[in-house]
Structure 1
Amino acid sequence: MRATILCIKWGTAFDASEVNLLYRACRDNVPGELRFVCLTDNRDGLLDGIEAREIPDIGLAPAAWKLPGVWRKLSLFSDEISDLGRVLFIDLDMMIVGDLQPFFDQVEGSRFLNVGKSWYPGKEGLEKEVGTGVYSYDIGENAHVLTAFVQDMEGHMQNWQNEQDFVGAHADAPSYWPEGLVLSFKRHLCHRYGKGLFVAPSAPPASARIIAFHGNPRPVDTVKQTIWGPAPHWHAGTPNWIIEYRQRYGGDA
């Protein structure tokens, strides 16, 4: 059975090299046939193995594309791409570090990251919360998420912090990936309160399959910036395992 991986890119936050990097890493870690689809407003520079498609128009004004909340990402629920069927969506700020087969063993329903208390210290009382950095779903069976949004886009953008929270509230009975398959770079591997200026982030354990670089820093920041990370949790230099990863899959390290 062919695996389908989906990503999305618009604007200038990520360029084609980051899509190509993710594609090569996925190709190396998906057993069997892979269909890799990128929804984008600029397909220049994408590798031939990447299927580039237009981002569905969900009625958002261009001014809203840059608003906090990543609302344009809800185009992933458009029936214009429902022919893709079941997909594994992966954000571009992810590193693929192991066999992705466990993400394709889910063949029905929707499965998301759990970004509750294990990911964010400020959410210690929250056991589970939907994260949309890596999720598996059938596009056609989840069109109701986008339908609910377009009924009152301005109101929803005011009432919800981001598309992730909106999806979590409207997805049918979401389930979650087993703990440890996807790790947060800054939460699980980095250090706090300046220790990272002297000690490199930990290498991911063999049990991890994806490392999520949500927010600050992005993977490229650890390469291009001498000091990186949010204050006061600064880090210095680039971990060797990130350099090796970007060299292996065609990055700019």
Structure 2
Amino acid sequence: MSATAPAAAASTPRTILCMKWGTKYGPEYVNRLYAMVRRHLSGDFRFVCLTDDSKGIRGEVQCLPIPALDLPAGLPERGWTKLATFSKDLHGLRGTALFLDVDVVVTGSLDEFFTRPGEFLIIHDYKRPWRITGNSSVYRFELGAHPDVLEYFRANFGEIRQKFRNEQAYLSDFLHRQGKLQYWPKAWCPSFKYHGIPAWPTNYWRTPEVPHGARIVIFHGECNPPDALAGRRNRRFRFIRPALWVGEHWRE
């Protein structure tokens, strides 16, 4: 396990990495993510989006194709595509990468995400913290340093699919067994669903707020940023007031 923070040499700049595939998220998600990172990360960085459609994405973002995983057609979406970030040679990219889901909202400084010691850092699972599983909305790694994650996946997909529900469960288990898995401080990457919505029945009169100490708020499950901003939830009888703070951060 690494005891020192990764260096960000001038020849291998820090990289913000995201992915956009399919039609669920439009280019505005990538554009707003770039703008939030620019406001909250000091110094130089490279912003890369692995995508199957670069239309509408702002010029500061380097758009590159997603490496093919060659999975069987018709599979349910379980995030397996993210494992392409662990390619041995990801379009020649090198250095330290911070992966961000395109639907997160950045609310605080990102500088320490690059300086915190550790070989591989990820969010600890919110719902079942006694498990090792991480939430892969935010993870940091050295580009090209973990090709075995992808190589083993490609060679054993049938077995992996039976054992793990999604990519983050497989990824966490694989790196945990190598002694490389570590977690971000709990306050840094809270869940809007679990930490940002007031408890019932106060959700009927209290407005959702940014959780204390949050730097990146994660939107997973039933709400994404525009839903939270509008006060919508996609499950019945789960009322929330508009989270107006989202509009202050989730913008270009």
2:81 partner amino acid: R
- In 2, the alpha carbon distance for the partners of 1:145 and 1:63 equals 23
- Runs of 4+ deviating beyond 4 Å: none
Cα 1:193–1:108, aligned 2, differ >3 Å: closer, same or farther?
closer
Cα 1:212–1:187, aligned 2, differ >3 Å: closer, same or farther?
same
- The two structures have a TM-score, normalised by structure 1, of 0.86
2:217 paired with 1:217:
no
2:7 paired with 1:7:
no
1:178 partner amino acid: P
Q: What secondary structure sits across from 2:210 in the alignment?
A: coil
Greater helix share, 1 or 2?
1
* Residues 151-187 of structure 1: CA deviation (Å, up to 9, x unaligned): 1223322321100000011113201111211111111
Deviation at 1:222, TM superposition (A): 2.1
Residue 72 of structure 1 is matched in structure 2 by 81
- In 1, the alpha carbon distance for the partners of 2:109 and 2:210 equals 17
- In 2, the alpha carbon distance for the partners of 1:208 and 1:157 equals 33
Residue 233 of structure 2 is matched in structure 1 by 228
Number of equivalent positions: 237
1:163 partner amino acid: E
2:197 paired with 1:190:
yes
Residue 208 of structure 1 is matched in structure 2 by 214
Cα 1:127–1:58, aligned 2, differ >3 Å: closer, same or farther?
closer
- In 1, the alpha carbon distance for the partners of 2:152 and 2:91 equals 17
Q: Which has the higher contact order (CA 8 A, sep 6+)?
A: 2
Residues 88, 145 of structure 2: 8 Å contact kept: no
- In 1, the alpha carbon distance for the partners of 2:232 and 2:29 equals 21
- In 2, the alpha carbon distance for the partners of 1:108 and 1:99 equals 19
Residues 88, 146 of structure 2: 8 Å contact kept: no
- The two structures have a TM-score, normalised by structure 2, of 0.87
Residues 195, 233 of structure 1: 8 Å contact kept: no
Deviation at 1:200, TM superposition (A): 1.2
Deviation at 1:3, TM superposition (A): 1.8
Cα 1:175–1:3, aligned 2, differ >3 Å: closer, same or farther?
same
Q: What secondary structure sits across from 1:175 in the alignment?
A: strand
* Residues 48-74 of structure 1: CA deviation (Å, up to 9, x unaligned): 00000000012124433xx14111121
2:27 paired with 1:16:
yes
Deviation at 1:208, TM superposition (A): 1.8
Q: What secondary structure sits across from 1:63 in the alignment?
A: coil
Q: Percent identity?
A: 29
* Residues 63-107 of structure 1: CA deviation (Å, up to 9, x unaligned): 33xx14111121111224163222000111211111101100046
| Backbone CA RMSD of aligned residues | 1.9
- In 1, the alpha carbon distance for the partners of 2:131 and 2:172 equals 14
